[in-house]
Structure 1
Amino acid sequence: MVGGVVILGGVIRSLTARINKANDHSAFIATEVMSSMRTVRSMAGEEKERARYGKDLRKMYLAGIGKSVAQGITFGALIGILWGTTALAFWYGGGLVVDKTMDVGAMLKVFGLSLFAIIGISQAGSFFPDFVLKDFSLEITPGQAVALVGPSGSGKSTIVGLVEKFYEPAKGKVYIDGVDISEIDPMWLHRNVGIVTQEPVLFATSIYNNIAYAVGEQNVTPQQVEEAARAANCGQKQRIAIARALVQNPQILLLDEATSALDTESEALVQAALDHLMKGRTTICIAHRLSTVKNADKICVLAKGVLKETGTHDELMKIENGIYKGLAEKQMLFSHNEDLEDVMDI
């Protein structure tokens, strides 16, 4: 009996460790997903993360059942030992009293000591964005590349967030192919809209799974992942983010300062990969450097939520005292790769 209790104690410790491990991993997944919510939503990964989280919860549930059964058996065994010893003490002590070898008082004293000893063993076993856009209107035709430039807080990232349906507009509408975005299924939207950000979020899994994340490992072949990685051959986290967007094959592409954190050499490599990715896709690019947006079909200059200027590079260069022209003439961004936010004072 005692040996069985000891074995069950080991089983309980093992199951407790398994529960703690699953709990820690599920908490890690929850933290990772909450801190990467935009990436998860933009890649339509809600069901994937729900399944990944649920897998750990299932492990905790099964281990919890096993632990409860083991604890129940252990507790039952200890109670059995307790009352079995009590019954044995009464039986043996009763015989001694009958034989007049021991009086009743002495028997009860011994019984009390044995009871307390057993009890001792039993216990030891024991509204999101600020209002930044002001009457902003912009029409983008299929396959067109539009660049957004402007200082921090001008509303560039808000536009991307609205297209991704991260939040609803306070007023006005956002349309895709003439359909109000509020009527479009978010899962369908996120499968058809790819995004590459300045600081791509990578999950604690393999590079393969990170690239295949947007479409699911079961929906993409190893050859497709390899081709996407080769096409995005540029380096580090941006490489994986671009490959992830490539394998997703989206109709709409959002580039949120995808090259801003890179040095000149790395930027050239990433930009080449982005140019490949942009072909044939409707693209909205938040520009970090003017040199990145010169070839865009349309350049939009924003300031304090207002669209100040719009046109091609050549058209904007013809505007006297224009904001974009002023930046270009300074050649600060074209020759020295300085940040837009460092030179735009609007």
Structure 2
Amino acid sequence: MTYLLATYGLFLLPFQLGRRALVKRQVYGVTLLLIFVFSAFRFEVGCDWSGYYFQYLKADRPSLQLALEGGEPLWWSILYLMNTQNIPYPVANVISSAIFFVGVHLLARRQPNPLAFLVLLFPILIINMPMSAIRQGAGVGLLCVALAAFIDRKPVWCAVWIVLASGFHSSAAVFLILLPLATGNYARSRIMLAAVLAIPGVLLLSGGDAAEIAVDRYVGTGVDAAGAAFRVGVLVLSGLFFFLFLRRPWRRQFPSDFALAHLFSMAMVLLIALVPVSSVIGDRLGYFLIPVQAMIFARVPFLDIPNRKLMTLLPYIGLALMFTVWTSVSYHFQQCYLPYNSWLFGFPNSLWSGL
């Protein structure tokens, strides 16, 4: 009930505040802080709580050396420093959430309605990333910074932030495909080059060990895999929504970030090709697409389209229904997120021992 009330309340905010832009921005700041605290200071909440705790325990020097030679060195470096300095494990959640929400903020402030963008991230991305898969959550936050650089047409900085994101979650490296388009040249030849560059990254993620690791980390059961298929399905529908109703008015009214919305919408639709192979791999990539999905949904009220009020409501209704069903029938959700606890309210002995 805590999560449902939070989601319904957040979804109502953009509508209750109407056209009061200044008030919306003030409420946005408070809301961002409250969601950060809700995410960062949770205790024994999230499906990956124990998994990351065991990573924290084994983050010794040999493990760090292996990580530096292999992948995701930034994540293991943080765990190693925490371990050697006797910083308790739950602080890893604070660090990851801080990275995630700073990135979200940098992308949100480029939106006409930052509050709507933020609240649309809550029921899927925030619950699943900084509140569970914290390593990928940090990667998503850094990718948001890269997307802001993409909008600003700064390809070098876009590349830097994507590389840093892959230091937390190697799958973020796939988004180096953005670089041919980050200068603002959105010619067909550039799009084809980006598509060609995407192939090696997708094959790397879907092959052998990578797929097995993805299943272990994000799913664990057949029920979770089914949930992944539903999340991928929502992304596919979101991409189709953009192409059917928003593409032309967006290009006319918001040319500065049209390339980002268009490219990511194509990626959303193409995720359907991954479902027969592995819905989990599609889900893994899909989390990186959700910030642009939220950007698309939050932009609808500002586009000159037929039935704009109905089109504005549809994403909120759809996400609310999906989240309600998930929280009501998912064993995965019941086991991972309930009850909600925060170490701000106590747990001193458990906190300093990690669990």
Q: TM-score, normalised by structure 2?
A: 0.25
Relative contact order (C-alpha < 8 Å, sep 6+): which is higher? 2
The structure with more strand, counted as a fraction of residues:
1
Structure possessing the higher radius of gyration over alpha carbons: 1
TM-score by length of 1: 0.26
Is the helix fraction higher in 1 or 2? 2
